[in-house]
A and B are shown apart, each in its own frame.
Chain A
Amino acid sequence: EVQLVESGGGLVRPGGSLRLSCAASGFTFSSYSMNWVRQAPGKGLEWVSSISSSSSYIFYADSLKGRFTISRDNAKNALYLQMNSLRAEDTAVYFCARTINDGYAEWGQGTLVTVSS
């Protein structure tokens, strides 16, 4: 069974940093591109970042302006999102998702990040 389990969310002050993790199991992690998608409270889905299977290709939403860094450790079956200079508007549930056949076929349950003083 495919499982994606996010962790690392929590309450952080504006300007602070957080590192999210996504633990993957049930599939050959190193063969798939992975993604982060976020959803602010009561709002729609927003693509954040994507990374190819070997980390050769990395993409970010323009709105992040270099504050976030995606990475992966294929030996640990783990995906990461380092978030710096956090702002109130970064408050959201952050999902990791696996790419299969031009779609995000599996999603984790999400981890809530709250940016507030």
Chain B
Amino acid sequence: SYEVTQSPSVSVSPGQTASITCSGDKLGDKHACWYQQKPGQSPVLVIYQDNKRPSGIPERFSGSNSGNTATLTISGTQAMDEADYYCQAWGSRVFGGGTKLTVL
């Protein structure tokens, strides 16, 4: 079955750019989406179809997907962005293991 992998953790300083990656075989041939989950809360979709933002998601969230890697980029990271982030390879429905983003 298809698998996608994420780094367990990423740290970033407030105001800087955070990049969270998701790797899978020919992932660029599928659509990738990204979810944010804060402790005790349900996940929230922040990127779909590789690079589209749902209504209400701040412009600082962006995405790309090419080759074997999808990337979630958070520009001007804020303390409120500290959360777990999960990628999902659409079509296979599988989630990555999640990346804990720490804003130091």
Contacts and interface: CB of A to CB of B under 8 A. Distances in A.
A11 interface: no
Interface SS of A by simple majority: strand
A44 B98 CA distance: 6
Contacts of A62: 1
A102 interface: yes
A62 B84 CA distance: 25
A101 B52 contact: yes
> Which residue among B43, B94, B98 has the maximum number of chain A CB atoms within 10 Å of its CB?
B43
Interface string A80-117: 00000000000000010100111111011110000000
Given A44-B98, A46-B95, A107 B48 contact: no
A21 interface: no
B30 to A, nearest CB: 9
A59 interface: yes
A44 B95 contact: yes
Interface residues of B, number: 24
A110 B42 contact: yes
Nearest to A107: B42
Q: For this complex, into which size category does the number of interface residues on chain A fall?
A: 20 to 34
B75 interface: no
B94 A102 contact: no
A50 B42 contact: no
Nearest to A108: B42
25 contacts: A35-B93, A37-B95, A44-B84, A44-B86, A44-B96, A45-B86, A47-B93, A47-B94, A59-B93, A95-B42, A97-B43, A100-B48, A102-B33, A102-B49, A102-B90, A103-B45, A103-B47, A103-B48, A103-B49, A104-B33, A104-B45, A104-B88, A105-B48, A107-B44, A109-B42
Interface of A: 35, 37, 44-47, 50, 59, 61-62, 95, 97, 100-105, 107-110
Interface of B: 1, 31, 33, 35, 37, 42-45, 47-49, 52, 54, 84, 86, 88, 90, 93-98
